[in-house]
Amino acid sequence: MLQLLLWKSTFISVNFFQKLFGNRGPRVFHFAYGANVDPKTLQVRGVKPFSTEIWILDDYQLCFSHPGPFAGQGFADIIYNKGHQTFGYLYEISMWDRIRLHLFELALFFDRHRICWITQHQKKFYFYKGTDFDQTVLPTCAYLKKITTAYQRSSISIEEYERNILNHACLLEMPRQRRTFHFCHPPRFKSKVYYQIKLYYEKLISKMMMKLYPHPIAGLKNKSTE
């Protein structure tokens, strides 16, 4: 519960200081991919980049191996795969927007994503990568449609790339069964009692997060959110 309180209070603090000081201060570059290339995503999250550039991330492949809270369901992720490419945007953002994106992506306090720094083509930038990996999970078909729509709304639209995403195997319906979902990290102790307490705690955090999260989370409903 403390993690959730820290996450929410940090959100409130960052929003306050951003309004107070504006976007002054250090700037960083962030690579966005998947549904996050949709201009609406930036608008909903209140992120105002100083510059936007179409970017091709070399030697990384878009996949859907980041497990979600339902059995067999996955979110978009990128994995190292030499020779492959991931298309997206390179945003130049303020330190305030950087922290806010860390919070949106649950990279702070919950560690659902890792913050990965890389240098390519003489530019240093970061992207988000799922902490957990499961090659057996699949995205919902509606989620794939949302991602291709995001690319179409952007200026990145590449027909073959979008076709490959749409042709990816997908779930027609959201699974009803909730998986043994570790919202933070799997319990490191073998005690069955501790494991059940930790599992109950994480399910509770998961439900509360859905209510407190600033906007609907893509991929959790098999219907259009437009």
Q: What is the CATH number of the domain that holds 14?
A: 3.10.490.10
Does 66 reside within a domain? Answer: yes
- The domain in which residue 26 lies consists of 2-212
Does 49 reside within a domain? Answer: yes
Per-residue model confidence (pLDDT) at position 182: 62
User: Where is pLDDT greater, at 204 or 14?
Assistant: 14
pLDDT tens readout for residues 120-177 = 999 999 999 999 899 999 999 999 999 999 999 888 878 889 999 999 999 988 777 6
pLDDT, averaged across the chain: 86
Per-residue model confidence (pLDDT) at position 218: 59
Q: Using the 8-state DSSP alphabet, how is residue 64 labeled?
A: E
pLDDT tens readout for residues 11-23 = 999 999 998 988 8
Q: Residue 212: which pLDDT band, with cuts at 50, 70 and 90?
A: confident
CA–CA separation, 177 vs 224, rounded Å?
21
Does 223 reside within a domain? Answer: no
Does 222 reside within a domain? Answer: no
CA–CA separation, 203 vs 173, rounded Å?
22
Does 180 reside within a domain? Answer: yes
CB 100 within 8 A of CB 108: no
Is 208 a residue whose pLDDT tops 90? no
Does 167 reside within a domain? Answer: yes
Does 102 reside within a domain? Answer: yes
Does 225 reside within a domain? Answer: no
CA–CA separation, 172 vs 150, rounded Å?
20
CA–CA separation, 154 vs 52, rounded Å?
11
Per-residue model confidence (pLDDT) at position 189: 65
User: Where is pLDDT greater, at 76 or 214?
Assistant: 76
Residue reference for tokens 């729509």:
149
Domain count, the chain: 1
